[in-house]
A and B are shown apart, each in its own frame.
Chain A
Amino acid sequence: MSQDQQGHDEHGHEHQQSFISHYIFSTDHKMIGKQFLLLSAIMACFGGFMAYLIRWEVAFPNTPAPFFGLVTPDKFNAIITLHGTIMIFFVGMPFLSAFPSNFLVPLMIGARDMAFPKLNMASFWITFVGAVLLVSSIFVPGGPVAGGWVGYPPLSASSEFTGVKIGAVLWILALACALVSSSLGGMNYLVTAATLRAPGMTFNRIPMTVWFLLASAITFFFSAGPLIAGAFMMLMDNAFGTGFFLPAKGGEPMLWEHLFWFFGHPEVYVLFFPALGFGLDIMATFTRKPVFGYKLILWCTGSAVALSYIVWAHHMFMSGLNPLLATPFSITTILISVPFAIIIFCMFATLRNGAIRLELPFLWIIGFLATFLIGGLTGIFLGSASADIYLHGTYFVVAHFHYTLFPSVFFGGFGAVYYWFPKMYGKKLNEKLGFLHLALTFIFFNGTFWPLFKVGMGGMIRRIADPSFYPQYHQFQGLNAFATVSAICLIATQVIFLWNLVLSLNHGPQAEKNPYQSNTLEWIADSPPPHGNWGPVLPVVTSDPYEYSKPGEAKDWQPQATNLPV
């Protein structure tokens, strides 16, 4: 047992902290989790506003967007770049990986804190610096980077093409901050789960959420390195005039694409795994059944992690890649859908014969599954090289990856927020507002992105600021306008959640310790858990996480640890 943990033991409840060490430079994993949540919420406001501007310009070109003005082509390019970078690295990663890993991993395995609390604090502040750098790039001379969030060179590697120099350097630095922070964080979650589990928390008693957060961390961990190397090269190209990626100077733009997508594709799973984990835990609680196929799911996750490193070139079928390579990468891409299909079937099997309680977090997870399936299935279209050559770079791709990322980040993530909110703040969220939030998000999300499949199948290329310039795109005006109106409603819907948050935090009913009669360890801690989580005595785990509805038992649940009161 580490010194730090013993420290917590001695202090127990009487731990007093100043405002700064409690709310700002905190080393408490719960506070850091909440900081990540707040950061992602703020960045989501930026990203959402940019989504609105993009959609406005595509549907109503050359009309000034309310609250902003005219979105000129150069601004459009910058906005789509920032939207992608912000949403992936400063909303998706903090919201789905950093926030739940920090808040839940120590609680669910029965630890008092992370293995390296100071490193944990550092990883939040590195992300924060990255976010500040990215946002500040909007205000520097030359404007923010405008080469697309994938940053394909030569466009992104030299200021002579876009006129952006400082913005590009800031963008790379922000990216580097996000990568370094997530790597350090991932290392921390991994070590914590490996070495600080409570007595009795053997590997096959670890809840699914923790397994999937770890899978996410590992996937990130072993894919980020090459992109960090690539970011160094890109930085040298932009800042010092080298030519790693510039053909004119003997460089190779394809090199960046390989380095980027070697990271970029696993990143999709980094954002998808946590949502699956939340889904499985929430499903077990609200169906009152064990998760179907616990070990099968773990094997599938392991093989998905392994396969995720050998699919990256399916993003590059149109890049000049040797066509002979397209077939193997098509095969691995379609292969990786097999473990995910098995996991999804396990989720459906969990529902079978369950005593289903249609509570809010459960409904969010059903929304996640319903929408993600569409994203997953359209991925098979894009994964086969022959179909991809037609669909590449169209709005079909935009619709596809929004159907994968949006369900993961928003449906899965909000499912987790609604589920664990009582534990985080000791208050209950308003159910009716929550249901309204879910229903409207579901309707408007599909309203936004379903039409884009059709627009993309029709051949409309993405990243075009002014579709009115191309006569062949005029036919899509109606669909695009519909998608835009839905998108604006979708963004407006999120205000309901903010309102619910403010209302519930101030006037919400006090949450009990274990509002859902759930088994896992975090429900044994107080709501909200005190510093050190468990008081003087650690929980001692004596049963599996999903012992629901055991035949012959009076109550239909069995907490993982019984030495502490539930």
Chain B
Amino acid sequence: MDKNTTLPVLGFEPGDQLPTGHYSGPVGLTPGRLGIWALIASEIVLFAGLFGSFILMRLINPGWAEEARHLNLYAGTLNSLVLLTSNFFMMKSSKSFVEDRAEDARKFMVFTMLAGFVFLGIKAYEYSGEFAHGEFPTSGGFWSFYFLMTGIHALHILGGLFAIFLLLSKTRHEPLVSLASRANITGIYWSFVEVVWIFLFPLLYLLA
């Protein structure tokens, strides 16, 4: 703690550990950690709104099952694997920060970003296939939801990639240990983006 805790305070002897609301230490609830969980909580409510709307509309529109068959199931499955792999790389990188292995930390972050871009590439390939078949966001309720939900998810992927890129560029100037907490937070966010896909994939591709 800081120097003023040794000042004489009413009811406490000098040098006493004062009751404190500050959290610190490696396992403590730092502002960054609490902040990222709060952000994720609000994102969960956002996606709950989207998923809930989709499920309700899907229940009253049995015809959407037929339209869901037009999705590219193979591309979707491959994409799930790509995203899982990228998350594995991010966790490896996050671990390297704690163990102060700079080469590994950077390498795995680059792998994570590559996998992220592969995901976006496959998604773009899927979109172009759907456009070629004349399926646009305006082609009915299912396609509106499909493009909206995958689009918002893709925006989150972009956001995550940007956060990882910032972290990567910071490793050039700052020691790894001081960035470990930030790497952890970025990893938590990246995992969240992946968990969203874990719900999105069966909801859109498998519920046919």
- Where the two chains meet, the residues of A that have a C-beta atom closer than 8 Å to any C-beta of B are 1-2, 9, 109, 115-116, 183, 187-188, 190-192, 194-203, 221-230, 232-233, 236, 240-244, 249-252, 255, 259, 262, 536-538, 540, 542, 562-563
What residues on B are CB-neighbors of A229 within 8 Å?
Answer: 46-47, 49-50, 53
Does B148 contact A236, Cβ atoms closer than 8 Å? Answer: yes
Does B53 contact A199, Cβ atoms closer than 8 Å? Answer: no
What residues on B are CB-neighbors of A9 within 8 Å?
Answer: 2
Closest 4 A/B residue pairs (Cβ): A225-B45, A226-B49, A197-B21, A229-B49
What residues on B are CB-neighbors of A542 within 8 Å?
Answer: 9-12
Q: Tell me the minimal C-beta distance from B173 to chain A in angstroms.
A: 15
Which of A188, A194, A200, A259 contacts B19 (CB under 8 A)? A200
What residues on B are CB-neighbors of A242 within 8 Å?
Answer: 137-138, 144, 148
Question: Is B23 positioned at the interface, with any CB of A under 8 Å from its CB?
Answer: yes
Does B43 contact A540, Cβ atoms closer than 8 Å? Answer: no
Bound Cα distance from A96 to B36, whole angstroms: 25
Q: A198-B21, A221-B42, A563-B4 are in contact. Are A226 and B52 (CB under 8 A)?
A: yes
Does A199 contact B152, Cβ atoms closer than 8 Å? Answer: no
Which of B4, B21, B42, B45 contacts A201 (CB under 8 A)? B21
Segment from B27-35, B95-103, B164-172 that makes contact with A: B27-35
Q: Tell me the minimal C-beta distance from A1 to chain B in angstroms.
A: 6
Does B56 contact A255, Cβ atoms closer than 8 Å? Answer: yes
Question: Is B48 positioned at the interface, with any CB of A under 8 Å from its CB?
Answer: yes
Q: A232-B152, A542-B9 are in contact. Are A251 and B21 (CB under 8 A)?
A: no
Classify the interface of chain B: helix, strand, loop or mixed.
helix
Does B35 contact A115, Cβ atoms closer than 8 Å? Answer: yes
Bound Cα distance from A228 to B44, whole angstroms: 12
User: Scoring B residues 1 to 25 as 1 if CB is less than 8 Å from chain A, else 0, what string do you get?
Assistant: 1101101111110000011111110
What residues on B are CB-neighbors of A116 within 8 Å?
Answer: 31, 35
Bound Cα distance from A495 to B80, whole angstroms: 61
Does B61 contact A250, Cβ atoms closer than 8 Å? Answer: yes
Q: Tell me the minimal C-beta distance from B169 to chain A in angstroms.
A: 17
Question: Is B39 positioned at the interface, with any CB of A under 8 Å from its CB?
Answer: yes
Question: Is B132 positioned at the interface, with any CB of A under 8 Å from its CB?
Answer: no
Q: Tell me the minimal C-beta distance from B196 to chain A in angstroms.
A: 13
Does B20 contact A200, Cβ atoms closer than 8 Å? Answer: yes
What residues on A are CB-neighbors of B19 within 8 Å?
Answer: 199-200, 202
What residues on B are CB-neighbors of A222 within 8 Å?
Answer: 41-42, 45
What residues on B are CB-neighbors of A188 within 8 Å?
Answer: 35
Bound Cα distance from A328 to B35, whole angstroms: 35
What residues on A are CB-neighbors of B42 within 8 Å?
Answer: 183, 187, 221-222, 224-225
What residues on A are CB-neighbors of B38 within 8 Å?
Answer: 187, 190-191, 221
Chain A residue at minimum C-beta to C-beta distance from B144: A242
11 contacts between A and B (CB under 8 A): A1-B22, A116-B35, A187-B35, A188-B35, A194-B23, A200-B18, A221-B45, A242-B144, A262-B49, A540-B18, A563-B9
Q: Tell me the minimal C-beta distance from B186 to chain A in angstroms.
A: 15
What residues on A are CB-neighbors of B21 within 8 Å?
Answer: 109, 195-203
Question: Is B141 positioned at the interface, with any CB of A under 8 Å from its CB?
Answer: yes
Does A195 contact B30, Cβ atoms closer than 8 Å? Answer: yes
Q: A240-B137, A563-B4 are in contact. Are A225 and B56 (CB under 8 A)?
A: no
Bound Cα distance from A232 to B4, whole angstroms: 50
Does A233 contact B35, Cβ atoms closer than 8 Å? Answer: no
What residues on A are CB-neighbors of B114 within 8 Å?
Answer: none
Q: Tell me the minimal C-beta distance from A260 to chain B in angstroms.
A: 11
What residues on B are CB-neighbors of A197 within 8 Å?
Answer: 20-22
What residues on B are CB-neighbors of A195 within 8 Å?
Answer: 21-23, 29-31, 34
Question: Is B175 positioned at the interface, with any CB of A under 8 Å from its CB?
Answer: no
What residues on A are CB-neighbors of B31 within 8 Å?
Answer: 2, 115-116, 191-192, 195-196
